[in-house]
């Protein structure tokens, strides 16, 4: 299908989502790929993983007028080597999502609702979060919480974050779309408050934040 949607937000951010329906060869033909990335692709044995990488490149080519070169910091955070635009990337087997902003730090995450989130409940939730989980909406709440925590993790651009004690999603009632209050607690005790947005579509949840 290609570009699923392109959405400009009020704060100058842009969310772009690509639905991966193409074959690997079709994605290769759609993408203008720097040699470095072609070399990296050749080392990936998993076909689904290669398609995700190619769909990221296809979406980058759709979002940006000129060719952009994608790099990664030591902690895995992506950046554009030839642009100052901030970027965050996430993908599942079906979708690739990209969030960009001219200046502000960003974080985005997309997750399939078909995934089993029992491990998330055991290892990534605080006592406060476990306390407000409902029996009726438990799986959906877990998916939204995990996606929100991943988005904050990407925005903070650190590799040593404890999801259960440092990223706390305040109590919420899951809907098709909405906002979440999230607190990030640094290891020295300092706290930052974020307001995230999330949306559910095509049996996926996507959460994002800017700034």
Q: Please give the sequence-ordered ranges of beta strands (E in DSSP) within the chain, or none if there are none.
A: 2-8, 14-19, 70-72, 78-80, 86-91, 95-101, 106-112, 167-169, 177-185, 191-201, 204-210
Domain termination residue (choose one: 53, 85, 104): 104
Other beta carbons within 10 Å of 50: 18
Interatomic CA distance for residues 67 and 21, integer angstroms: 23
- Same-domain check for residues 37 and 121: no
CA 34: distance to chain centroid? 23
Interatomic CA distance for residues 184 and 190, integer angstroms: 8
- Same-domain check for residues 116 and 206: yes
Q: For residue range 151-208, what is the model confidence (pLDDT) as tens digits?
A: 999 999 887 899 999 999 999 999 999 999 999 999 888 999 999 999 999 999 999 9
Domain termination residue (choose one: 77, 104, 131): 104
Q: For residue range 71-111, what is the model confidence (pLDDT) as tens digits?
A: 888 777 898 988 899 999 999 999 999 999 999 999 999 99
Q: How confident is the model at residue 1 (pLDDT cuts 50, 70, 90)?
A: low
- Same-domain check for residues 61 and 22: yes
- Same-domain check for residues 165 and 100: no
CATH of the domain at 54: 3.90.470.20
Domain termination residue (choose one: 86, 104, 122): 104
Interatomic CA distance for residues 211 and 200, integer angstroms: 22
**Counted domains in the chain:** 2
Structural domain span for residue 83: 2-104
């Amino acid at each position: 299908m290609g570009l699923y949607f392109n959405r400009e937000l009020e704060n100058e951010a842009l969310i772009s989502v690509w639905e991966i329906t193409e074959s690997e060869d079709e994605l290769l033909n759609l993408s203008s790929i720097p040699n470095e990335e072609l070399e990296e692709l050749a080392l990936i044995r998993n076909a689904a993983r290669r398609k995700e990488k190619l769909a990221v490149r296809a979406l980058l080519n759709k979002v940006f007028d000129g060719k952009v070169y994608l790099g990664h910091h030591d902690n895995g955070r992506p950046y554009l080597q030839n642009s100052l635009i901030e970027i965050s990337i996430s993908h599942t087997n079906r979708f690739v999502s990209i969030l960009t902003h001219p200046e502000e730090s960003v974080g985005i995450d997309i997750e399939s609702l078909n995934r089993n989130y029992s491990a998330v409940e055991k290892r990534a939730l605080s006592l406060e979060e476990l306390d407000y989980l409902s029996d009726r909406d438990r799986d959906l709440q877990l998916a939204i919480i995990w996606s929100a925590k991943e988005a904050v993790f990407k925005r903070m651009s650190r590799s040593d974050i404890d999801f259960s004690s440092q990223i706390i999603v305040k109590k919420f009632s899951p809907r098709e779309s909405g906002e979440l209050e999230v607190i990030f607690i640094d290891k020295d005790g300092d706290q930052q408050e974020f307001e995230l947005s999330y949306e559910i579509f095509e049996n996926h949840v996507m959460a994002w934040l800017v700034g």
